[in-house]
Amino acid sequence: MSDAERDGMRARLDEFSRRLDARTREFEQRGELSDLHRSLLGQIEGRRQGLQAKLASAEASGSTWEVVKAEFERDFSSIHDDLLQLDERLDADQMKPDRK
């Protein structure tokens, strides 16, 4: 794997982290973050940290990058989809007419 591909993976994780932090702050400020939602966001963050650690470990140990890349794509897609679903759920809850 090229340096550009590794840098791209790191950049995607960094951008995801910023987005996750921003969404968490936004929902906290609006008072819309239940304990369940906070727990789900914590799980997503934990998985993001795991991806970051896996990437650093693979780089340090000289692992086979094709395997790392495939695992990264699978795991990143999963946490990205989880955050999108949570976003949609929280946005939908906010739009309900019976909200005060």
pLDDT at 18 over 80: yes
* pLDDT range class, residue 98, cuts 50, 70, 90: low
Give 22's DSSP letter. Answer: H
Q: Please tell me the predicted confidence (pLDDT) of residue 12.
A: 92
Long-range contacts: 74-80, Cβ < 8 Å, 24+? 75/47, 75/50, 75/51, 76/9, 76/12, 76/13, 76/16, 76/51, 78/47, 79/16, 79/44, 79/47, 79/48, 79/51, 80/16
For residue 73, the tally of other CB atoms under 10 A from its CB is 12
The residue ranges of every structural domain in the chain are: 3-95
Phi, psi of 57 (to 5 degrees): -65, -45
pLDDT at 96 over 80: no
**pLDDT tens-digit series, residues 32-86:** 778 888 888 899 999 999 999 988 888 887 767 777 888 899 999 999 999 999 8
Q: Please tell me the predicted confidence (pLDDT) of residue 47.
A: 93
